[in-house]
Amino acid sequence: MSKTIESLAPAELWKHFAALNAVPRASKKEEQVIQFILDFGKQLNLQTYKDEVGNVIIKKPATSGMENKHTVCLQSHLDMVHQKNSDTDFDFATQGINMFIEEDWVKAKGTTLGADNGIGVASIMALLASTDIPHPALEALFTIDEETGMTGALGLQGGLLDADILLNLDTEDDDELTIGCAGGIDVTIGGNYKTEKVNPDSMGFRITVKGLTGGHSGMDIYKGRGNANKLIARILLSAADKFEPRIKTIDGGGLRNAIPREAFAEVAIHAGESEDFTALINQEAELIKKEYQSTDPNLSISIETIVTPETVLETAFQYNLLRTIAACPNGIYRMSPAINGLVQTSNNLARVLVKDGEISILCLTRSSVDSEKMDLAKTICYNFELAGARPSFGGSYPGWAPKPEAPIVKLMSDLYKELFNAEAHVNAVHAGLECGILGTNYPKMQMISFGPNIRGAHSPDEKVQISSVQKYWPYLLETLKRIPERN
C-alpha cells in the first residue's frame, strides 16, 4: 500500500509521509516518533538534538549562494489525533496507518490519516534530505503534543532557535495564509455519584447515536454539525418527560479537539412501558435526523434490548446531570465583531463518561480573546458545580495576534498571486496553532502558516488532496528561494 502512496508526486514528500505513518505517534505517546526523527537527522549528519520536553530540532546549513539570507524555521508537530470508527479493529499503539488512494485523495481505512500534521512533517523531512533544492539556512522544529495541550510549544525554551522567520506548515486550505489563531483552555469536570438498585420488573436498553460527521473542534465548529453528547442527553431528557428511564452508563465522544461522533447510554425502564418507550426513542430519532440531514447525513440513532442493569444512577443526581449536560454551552458562543465570518469564541463538549460511580466530562474552550475564553470556561464550570461536580482548568495556551504588515506576509501573498493568478486569503482561524505560544519566547520572529487541502481532520474521514499537495510543494520551495538577505 505504501508503494502506491510513494509513487505519487512529489515523490520526495510522499515517501517520507508513508514512512512517518508507519510509526505510532499519538499525542503524549510520541516516544517512537521522536526517536524516528532523531535517527533521521543523525543519518543525514545534520545537527540534531532533543530539548528537555521532547521537541526535536534539526539544523541544516544554507545551500551555496544563499548563506546571507535570513534563517528560516520550518515547524510542524509530530503527534496526530487517534480516532477510529467503532467497528474498525485497529491498535494505534502498534500499527501504522492503513492508507489508500481514492481519486484525488489519500485516505485511511477507518481511522484518522495523520495528514494533520504529517504532511508538514514530511515536507520538512524532504527538505532536510534534499541535495538539489536551494534554500537558506534551515532550522527544523518538530514539536510534540500539539493536539492535546501544546506542551511541546509551551516547553520550548528561548535561545534554541536563531531563525528570523517561521513557516508553520499546519494550515488545511491551500489558498489560505494564516497569520493568527485562537487560544484555548481545557475544562475538566469530575465527580462521584451514588447508585440505586433497579426495580425488579425493569428491562434494559442500549441507545446508540453514531454516524455523525464530527471533525475538528475549532476549524469545523461553525458548520453546525451534531454533537453526540448533546444528542444523547436530549434523547434521554425527552424520554424522561413521559417515562422514568434510569441510567446505568453514558459513554460519548473522545478527544477534546474532535467533535464527538458517537455516544451510548444503557438504561432501565419499567417492562410494561418498553414498547411505548422504544416507540418514543424512534420518534425522537426521526426528528433529530431530519434536523441534521444536511450536516450529518449518516446519523444513526438506534435502541436495542440488553441485560437489565443491576444498579443505576441515584434519581436526583441523574436529574441534575442530564440537565447540566443539556445546558452546557456547545458550538459557537460568539462571532468576531471585528473580522467578518470568524468564530471568536466556542466550546466543544467533547467527552462524557458516566460509569462505575464516577463522571468525567471534557471540554475544549477556544477564543481569540483571552478574557472571553476564561469567562466562557468559568460559565461552564458554574453550570456543572450546580450539579455537585468538580470542575478544573488545564492546558491553557494563548492566541496568536495577527501581524499583517510582516514582510513574510507580503512576500508570500505576492508570490501566491504570481504563481496561481489569484489572491491568497490572508486570515486568522478559530483553531489552535503553535505560533502564538512560540512567539512568547521568540517575539521578533515573523510567522505565517500554510499547507495543502486537508478535510475531515480529527475524524476517520480525514483525507489530503493529492493535487493540492502538488500545488503547495512548489509554493513552499519558491518561498524558500525568495527569502530576502539579512541587512
Catalytic residues: 79, 146
CA–CA separation, 163 and 355 (whole Å): 50
Long-range contacts of residues 85-92, Cβ cutoff 8 Å, at least 24 apart: 85/110, 85/111, 85/460, 86/210, 86/262, 88/460, 92/24, 92/26
CA–CA separation, 404 and 424 (whole Å): 13
b/e burial code for range 442-454 (CB count within 10 A of at least 16 → b)? beebbbbbbbbbb
User: Coil, strand, or helix at residue 434?
Assistant: coil
CA–CA separation, 448 and 409 (whole Å): 7
Preceding omega of 10 cis (within 30 degrees of 0) = yes
- In 295-337, alpha helices (H): 315-327
CA atoms within 13 A on the CB side of 411: 17
Report which secondary-structure segment, H or E, holds 33.
Answer: helix 31-43
**How many CB atoms within 10 Å of residue 470?**
16
Q: How far is CA 123 from the centre of its chain?
A: 20
CA–CA separation, 80 and 226 (whole Å): 23
| Contact between 409 and 403 (Cβ < 8 Å) | yes
CA–CA separation, 432 and 214 (whole Å): 17
